[in-house]
Structure 1
């Protein structure tokens, strides 16, 4: 053990070039291969690298058992090919946030006026007036007004900067936690393991199934009717069929829509195709005019513009539709408009009206003060002096202060915080709201009509009824009912073998933890419910799957909305070929000509029996 730890420490400090020499293919070659793809990529894969098997040998990967959990080997691969994470931009420093807060136009105006007021209160012209001679012994307190303005603005700036700094730290912490929670199935030491996505390395063998969003680039090693949605990268909505010999390349960010299989990881993190796109876009954003662009998991670009209608009260967001982006590059109709809620629109209109009223009041105030000052100067025969210039300056400051305090900038923020508080209280009742304005919408509701659709569940499926041996067993989830259920031995063997084989091998049950009672479902929840039923029948799906590995299957017909069933064809130990099918009962029964009776014997199954079984 000591030697192993020593070698691990040594490899952690080797350079990327030295670590790359441990393998028969470089990082640049893998990136070039993934960029080529298509028929040219397949030709290069076969001619240059000796196909998938040759690529596995160059990466020192067993295509069946996967990598080992040796820390030294994993550390070398991370050093040579990178870690599966895209480097994030470092968070803004506190000083940068202070500078950003000072960009507010109103605060800048207040600071300038505060400095002018402070300067004018301290500075006096050399020529003394009669009043200053009389009041020269009084303490000068005129500077307090300007100082208070500057201090107040600085406090506001520091509070805003600290709040933003705290939120950024919370965002990065929560993002790191989410990344740790995201896991993927890989094969290591011939065991299927769930590991964090960032721990996947080049050379890993990943198990993929319908619904998976690929976190790495790779190549198909084994596939069963595999179809992938690549619209997030190409814009094409048609599903792409993937196979070892035809278009085997899989890209990060694409989604498995049908089938299952396994893939060999060739590129991770910033070296994957999506990683390079993110890196390029990040560089472009920094070099441009400084506009920040946020990209979701499927690379949807959200362009938010603040637009004002004739009343200056509407704020709208424009979101590009990726599905039409290719065909509508020069058409602005593919932008979807998301309007604000009714309350937000009304509040914006109210805020705009208050702003105009505030400006009118401020203008009227300064007009009255200036008129009074002019009357005092010219009507009473006073000379224009420094005293009156400082008075005009105070009038301008008064105008700005009235404008700042009258404009309700925080009105919408207060409403948003109120809705957020309402959402938190609703969450305590185990109710989740997707949209914040749902609280506002529910305030207009007087009657609620609902049915059983959409009821919140524990995301756990269980077999509750079984028709087997010409008997209909109900409430089989109850252990007492299960013990009374009698099934012929040969029928039970067929059921156990059929469920074990004719389900995705990525679906499995894990032993419950100390705080849990029920087993943990991994993969498709319906298939996990069937695997639970295998355990009820005292079967062991792991043993059957070990005896019938996926690479020995003759063929798999995956489930889809048209076929409404899934079938798996295997060759049994006695050289017979058997096809197991599961799916909608009316679809499966239509294909049946015989059925097993209560003794496990094969008996004919007619259309009359079909109608009677469907009614039951």
Structure 2
């Protein structure tokens, strides 16, 4: 249920246990930036020359006229320091705002039996936080429930091996990632009182990392500076020789310096003028404002993109985005709204019309189906006491199925109370399915839910109208396959439900966490089709990319027919063009090719369906080897390997020279 505190109780918990924020190092003030700007070697030389020129000028020509030259140099130096310090200070503020926005992660929390999303900064000790694959542990805590939960603690311990959490090892550290399974944690420590907080206390927010373009521009400025310094040295030598040998003359034709006749002060002043000319050559030659201008432009671009709801983590992303030649985009949540709804259902061998009309299904069959929906899920259903609308939470697919379950008569809490979960196989992106073993008064049932064609291939029987189990012959299997194909062609995501009974004596008494759930000889309960419409404006955006010469490719884990239908709807595929291989391919077929074959076909691929995270990575790597600058878009953890492959790629050097 979680705590159900009032506002005063929340404030009291924050006062006692602290807030879930980390200490930040004190930001440098404008005076520190001014001091840093004064450290520039060229400016130091200018200030020394200006001081000497000002002193000697006023001594020889008087205060009224002698300050012109030295004062002008001081004014130029002042303007450079002021602009540099002010710009760096404003840039520092922009980075601080970006960091604060990046760290303000939205997490789910359970309070008073209701799950809702809130800022990570609002967590307090005593909160119950659900954790799923890909989530970051938001605070230190203890696992109170979960199944097959594995945590990647490499960010804290340096060990790359995932750590399984259970009652024997329930402690969770803030900042770690959920690698597998799911569970719920009780928050026991927040902010500075966590292991991650202690680590963050010793780190600065801004590491001052220069982008590749900044490094190259600084290299150019250094090269020009060396050339300018060399020219200044030559000019200094030539002018000094001419001056001290008597070849430098005044406007009236008289010699400026003649040994033995020219006074010491006059000779020294002439030498200072020559030195000033040489220093001026160095100052004019070095384009100091160029790297600064680029940095400010990129920081401004990041800020502007942030106003458009696009948070850029690295400046280099802004630099290379204009050089991208291809975009590999995920489908769900990126090209589509990620608001799933069950719009079609096939049970007992027939299509339900409407999809929530289960009057023709026997009570025993409906009970089995509802048990599978309620127990084999990572979502929740909260029913308010005032009888209002149910609050369904979870992933978009889970929410769609749970909402459909409510329509067919599911009482979520009642069903879960009548059976207990023995073991869970969380949804796996490789197997495209998830399972659960539950025990009730009628025995032990193994419920599976996942990609329709994969679950169907494991079914050896199906449930008939009267609730009896019938063998899955070739004719019936083809009927279901045809239903799946028809739904997929209509851009529907097909999810199948199946189950099997298990003898309780076959369940291991010890080490049940290592028990492999039976996934063969299943009985098919039914198939549903879930619709996820395209986002408004996607088709126009795809067309803009095409007009700019950027090829858009869809890489998704969905059925190949669903992927083609969405690609046609988005404009990624042309209805009048070729939509067969190699333009449309399954991830498995691409994965089984040799590296050379993948490189030859990668350019032609427009849509890849049923792709695993590794398939997306292989495609990105193949495109990079072909010379493409690849952009990857996605909102799921299965996109992480491909996204990571686009960071720090060697092709950035090539892109920056375009």
C-alpha distance in 1 between matches for 2:391 and 2:229: 63
> What's the Cα RMSD here?
4.2
Aligned counterpart, 2:412: 544
2:440 paired with 1:553 = no
C-alpha distance in 2 between matches for 1:434 and 1:178: 8
Unaligned ranges ≥5, structure 2: 247-254, 385-389, 486-658
Distance 1:75 1:235, change over 3 A: same
Q: Quick one: which of 68, 76, 100 aligns to 2:36?
A: 100
2:204 paired with 1:359 = no
1:242-253 counterparts in 2 under 5 A? Answer: 242-244=165-167, 246-253=168-175
Distance 1:540 1:381, change over 3 A: farther
C-alpha distance in 2 between matches for 1:400 and 1:488: 94
* CA deviation after TM superposition for structure 1 residue 391, in Å: 1.9
Distance 1:348 1:266, change over 3 A: closer
Aligned counterpart, 2:463: 596
Unaligned ranges ≥5, structure 1: 1-64, 125-131, 283-292, 296-301, 305-314, 318-339, 474-480, 511-518
Q: Does the 8 Å contact 2:461/2:470 carry over to 1?
A: yes
C-alpha distance in 1 between matches for 2:200 and 2:310: 35
Map Cα deviations across residues 462-510 of structure 1 (whole Å, 9 max, x no partner).
Answer: 556544342468xxxxxxx857987734466654553333210369999
Identify the range of structure 1 (376-385 vs 72-81) with the bigger mean alpha-carbon deviation. 376-385
Distance 1:147 1:523, change over 3 A: farther
1:58-207 counterparts in 2 under 5 A? Answer: 65-124=1-60, 140-179=64-103, 181-207=104-130
Aligned counterpart, 2:477: 610
Q: Does the 8 Å contact 1:508/1:528 carry over to 2?
A: no
Aligned counterpart, 1:504: 378
C-alpha distance in 1 between matches for 2:241 and 2:392: 80
Q: Quick one: which of 397, 406, 413 aligns to 1:526?
A: 397
Map Cα deviations across residues 351-386 of structure 1 (whole Å, 9 max, x no partner).
Answer: 454333322332233233323322135658632331
Aligned counterpart, 2:360: 488
Q: Does the 8 Å contact 1:509/1:531 carry over to 2?
A: no
1:292-441 counterparts in 2 under 5 A? Answer: 340=212, 345=216, 350-374=220-244, 375=246, 376=255, 382-414=261-293
How many residues align structurally?
466
Q: Quick one: which of 560, 563, 582 aligns to 2:449?
A: 582
Judging by fraction of residues, say which structure has more strand: 2
Q: Structure 2-normalised TM-score?
A: 0.60
Aligned counterpart, 2:197: 275
1:259-270 counterparts in 2 under 5 A? Answer: 259-270=181-192
* CA deviation after TM superposition for structure 1 residue 555, in Å: 2.7
C-alpha distance in 2 between matches for 1:406 and 1:509: 73
Distance 1:395 1:452, change over 3 A: same
Map Cα deviations across residues 519-554 of structure 1 (whole Å, 9 max, x no partner).
Answer: 99854233234335446xx2476x414641699423
Map Cα deviations across residues 391-450 of structure 1 (whole Å, 9 max, x no partner).
Answer: 2112212211210111123334445666778889999999998876677767778x8698
Q: Does the 8 Å contact 2:433/2:451 carry over to 1?
A: yes
Identify the range of structure 1 (459-468 vs 213-222) with the bigger mean alpha-carbon deviation. 459-468
* CA deviation after TM superposition for structure 1 residue 217, in Å: 0.9
The SS at the match of 1:382 is coil
The SS at the match of 1:67 is coil
C-alpha distance in 1 between matches for 2:76 and 2:257: 37
Aligned counterpart, 2:434: 566
C-alpha distance in 2 between matches for 1:219 and 1:443: 46
Q: Quick one: which of 455, 458, 462 aligns to 2:337?
A: 458
Distance 1:262 1:551, change over 3 A: farther
